[in-house]
Amino acid sequence: MEILENVELAPLTTYKLGGRARWFAEPTSAEDLLALTPVEVPVLVLGRGSNVLIADAGFDGLVIRLASGLAEIEIDGLSVRAGGGASLATVARAAAKSDLGGLEWLVGVPGSVGGAVRMNAGCFGSETSEALIHAKLLDLSTGILDVRTPADLEMNYRSTNVQPHELVLEATFRVAPSSRSVSEGKMREITRWRKDHQPGGTFNAGSVFKNPPGDAAGRIIDALGLKGRAVGGVSVSHRHANFFVAEASASAQDMFDLVQVVKAEVMDATGIELVPEVQFAGFDQ
């Protein structure tokens, strides 16, 4: 496996923003990953780039993106094992194809298995923690492999105890008997809802803020009249206020600054502290 230098990261993210990685590796196997350890520089596990904003200055460390060899999916009875690099939508469709249900909601999350475990991703009333049996993690700083249950991971709303230097190698999910037609029908409904309610054809990274207890971040931002608020080439979506969309002329700093502006205005008006769901990489460097 080759370790590349000064690799452009913007094309690998859904925002299409940000600078270069000082070093970049795309391992195809667990052996490749183990060969990287111990990693002694800052590390960023990129996943599918759907929930991350890279600074314009880039990331001064090692960026790891799992290749297809670490995205395999295996079905064994009423469980589905998927590599950390597997697309969540692909996992949902593989289960449905085998007449297994319970993971249909994954088509609503544009990310990877590793990212879903790390952030306890969820939508449409379901969360990763509810379906996860266990996950295998690699500590990149030591090379130690570890298997953790949802309890071990301390999975809460959009949070776990997975550290930046830890990588989700694979995860095993619980499924239930279903029929392919029923599961595919549910997935079509979810996909249709997303098209009707969320901005499409634009550069965005999904929900920007976590929902505060008992409320929705999008409702609060909308109620304050912040739809359309812009910084540079980035604005709050008119379709869904918890989505920020970027124009081709936008910079990562525009996005970062708009997050701070909206967060401050919500705090001033309501006393509610919105917590970003998007992960910022390179801004503190």
**Angle at alpha carbon of residue 117, lines to 211 and 20, rounded to 5°:** 90
Rounded-to-integer distance, Cα 211 and Cα 130, Å: 18
DSSP codes of every residue in 191-254 = HHHHHHHS--SSB--S-SBPPPTTS-HHHHHHHTT-TT-EETTEEE-SS-TT-EEE-TT--HHH
Beta strands in 65-131 (DSSP E): 73-76, 79-83, 100-101, 122-123, 126-127
What pLDDT shows up at residue 200?
Answer: 72
Rounded-to-integer distance, Cα 119 and Cα 59, Å: 21
What pLDDT shows up at residue 80?
Answer: 98
What pLDDT shows up at residue 199?
Answer: 86
Q: How confident is the model at residue 94 (pLDDT cuts 50, 70, 90)?
A: very high
What pLDDT shows up at residue 277?
Answer: 94
Please provide the average confidence, as pLDDT, over all residues in the chain.
95
Three-class SS string for 28-76? CCHHHHHHHCCCCCCEEECCCCCCEEECCCCEEEEEECCCHHHCCEEEE
Q: Which position among 183, 207, 237, 251 bears the catalytic label?
A: 207
Structure tokens belonging to residue 216: 């929705």
End-to-end CA distance of the chain: 27
Q: Which position among 104, 127, 170, 277 bears the catalytic label?
A: 277
User: Over 90: is that where the pLDDT of 39 sits?
Assistant: yes
What pLDDT shows up at residue 214?
Answer: 95
Residue 50 a catalytic site member: no
Residue ranges and CATH numbers for the domains of the chain are 4-68 (3.30.43.10), 71-183 (3.30.465.10), 217-281 (3.90.78.10)
Residue 207 a catalytic site member: yes
For 192-202, how does the pLDDT look when each residue is reduced to its tens digit (9 = 90+)? 998 888 887 66
For 244-263, how does the pLDDT look when each residue is reduced to its tens digit (9 = 90+)? 999 989 999 999 999 999 99
Q: Which position among 158, 166, 183, 235 bears the catalytic label?
A: 158
For 170-221, how does the pLDDT look when each residue is reduced to its tens digit (9 = 90+)? 999 999 999 999 999 999 999 999 888 888 766 787 899 999 999 999 999 9
pLDDT, average across residues 261-275: 98
What pLDDT shows up at residue 206?
Answer: 82
What pLDDT shows up at residue 202?
Answer: 67
Percent of the chain with pLDDT over 90: 91
Rounded-to-integer distance, Cα 84 and Cα 130, Å: 18
